[in-house]
């Protein structure tokens, strides 16, 4: 997991910094147009660098914060098998955060700066993690819908013009597909279970459907950075295109589960060969992004507590390393 169209939440890209020559910018764009990959030491426009730093670091934060709603269920997983799977998934999310932080660092921001931005609340992360996981079925819905939406967003980033981000994304997408399948399996088991279990699955779908739909970010009309990101080949499809793809593949999966998508206006449109959804509540989306979702404060407090509780370990490790490095090497 878990990128969403976070490119829309930052400041406008800076105008070309002084000293950037038009010729350099043209050469850069020609390389991007030719599908050449840009690597850390290559010249790049400052706005490209800043856009990537923002997008990759927000993506990394999303992975790290994304460990919280699921980690919450590790001790309560219904069987040893489910527990082992959940631990593996949460550990993967941590790993994905590490790949992404490393990719962002190649652009000149430090890990410490990124952590500082997350913990101080100035950095954004995916809005989806500010919703609570109330029942075991939520873990199924997250894997199926949230990871499904994330995969839809992330597969095109495997072809991103920035090499380190693209490579991180290839690795992440490879690991991600188990996340979605284990989630669907949880939903399927519940959907085929008792009446109470089916109700639990339906309730989870009811609560996670719209937040998952919103993961694709604002509609194209309101997405101010899309055109530039597309020119730079950071982004390959618009928010609405990806959202439509997700709806088209997910509706039949819900039908297979025998669960109802909580949208009375949802219908198949034979003309366009697409499922059309009802209006999205963007007020909710913006409220959650601004910090007023159900769990925003709880998530950041959990991250700050973890940072604080681990401080002595980091300091001890650093002190140990310093001591070891000053010791005279012993004769063989």
Partner 1 sequence: MSEDWPLYEVFIRSRSGLEHKHVGSLHAADARMAIEHARDVYTRRQEGVSIWVMRSADIIASDPEEADSLFEPARDKVYRHPTFYAIPEEVKNL
Chain residues binding partner 1 by CB under 8 A are 39, 41-43, 88, 91-92, 95, 98-99, 102, 105, 110-112, 115-116, 167-168, 171, 175, 307, 314, 317-318, 320-321, 324-325
Task: Tell whether the torsion through CA atoms of 234, 236, 241 and 243 is positive or negative.
Answer: negative
Strand partners, 269: 274
Exposed, middle or buried by CB within 10 Å (0-12, 13-18, 19+), for 61?
buried
In the bound state with partner 1, the residue whose beta carbon lies nearer, of 56 and 251, is 56
User: Is-contact 55 6, C-beta < 8 A?
Assistant: yes
R_g of the chain computed on alpha carbons: 21
Exposed, middle or buried by CB within 10 Å (0-12, 13-18, 19+), for 66?
buried
Min. distance of Cβ 241 from partner 1 in angstroms? 30
In the bound state with partner 1, the residue whose beta carbon lies nearer, of 181 and 286, is 181
In the bound state with partner 1, the residue whose beta carbon lies nearer, of 104 and 259, is 104
- DSSP characters for 79-146? SHHHHHHHHHHHHHHHHHHHHHHHHHHTTT--HHHHHHHHHTT-S---GGGGS---SHHHHHHIIIII
Min. distance of Cβ 271 from partner 1 in angstroms? 44
294's enclosing H/E stretch is: none
In the bound state with partner 1, the residue whose beta carbon lies nearer, of 249 and 317, is 317
Alpha carbons within 13 angstroms on the beta-carbon side of residue 124 total 27
In the bound state with partner 1, the residue whose beta carbon lies nearer, of 91 and 292, is 91
Min. distance of Cβ 167 from partner 1 in angstroms? 8
Min. distance of Cβ 115 from partner 1 in angstroms? 5
In the bound state with partner 1, the residue whose beta carbon lies nearer, of 28 and 210, is 28
Min. distance of Cβ 119 from partner 1 in angstroms? 9
Q: How many helices (H) and strands (E) does the chain have?
A: 14, 2
In the bound state with partner 1, the residue whose beta carbon lies nearer, of 44 and 247, is 44
153's enclosing H/E stretch is: helix 147-154
Min. distance of Cβ 143 from partner 1 in angstroms? 17
Min. distance of Cβ 67 from partner 1 in angstroms? 14
């Amino acid at each position: 997991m878990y990128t969403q169209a976070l490119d829309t939440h930052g400041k406008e890209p800076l105008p070309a910094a002084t000293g950037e020559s038009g010729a350099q910018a043209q050469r850069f764009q020609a390389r991007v147009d030719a599908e050449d990959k840009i690597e850390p030491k290559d010249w790049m426009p400052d706005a490209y660098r800043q856009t990537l730093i923002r997008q990759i670091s927000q993506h990394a934060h999303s992975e790290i914060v994304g460990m919280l709603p699921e980690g919450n269920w590790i001790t309560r997983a219904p069987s040893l098998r489910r527990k082992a799977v959940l631990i593996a998934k949460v550990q993967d999310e941590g790993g994905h955060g590490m790949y992404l932080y490393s990719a962002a660092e190649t652009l000149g921001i430090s890990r410490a700066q990124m952590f500082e931005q997350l913990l101080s609340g100035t950095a954004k992360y995916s809005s989806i993690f500010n919703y609570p996981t109330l029942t075991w079925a939520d873990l199924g819905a997250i894997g199926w819908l949230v990871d499904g939406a994330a995969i839809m967003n992330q597969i095109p980033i495997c072809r991103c013009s920035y090499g380190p981000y693209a490579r991180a994304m290839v690795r992440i997408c490879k690991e991600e597909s188990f996340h979605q399948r284990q989630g669907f399996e949880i939903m399927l088991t519940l959907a085929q279970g008792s009446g109470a279990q089916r109700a639990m699955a339906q309730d989870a779908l009811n609560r996670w459907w719209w937040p998952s739909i919103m993961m694709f970010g604002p509609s194209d009309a309101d997405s101010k950075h899309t055109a530039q990101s597309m020119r730079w080949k950071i982004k390959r499809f618009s928010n609405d295109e990806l959202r439509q793809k997700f709806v088209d593949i997910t509706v039949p999966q819900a039908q297979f589960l025998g669960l109802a998508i909580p949208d009375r206006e949802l219908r198949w449109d034979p003309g366009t060969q697409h499922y059309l959804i009802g209006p999205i509540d963007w007020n909710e989306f913006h409220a959650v992004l601004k910090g007023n979702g159900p769990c925003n404060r709880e998530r950041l407090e959990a991250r700050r507590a973890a940072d604080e509780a681990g401080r002595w370990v980091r300091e001890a490790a650093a002190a140990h390393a310093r001591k070891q490095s000053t010791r005279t090497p012993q004769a063989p």
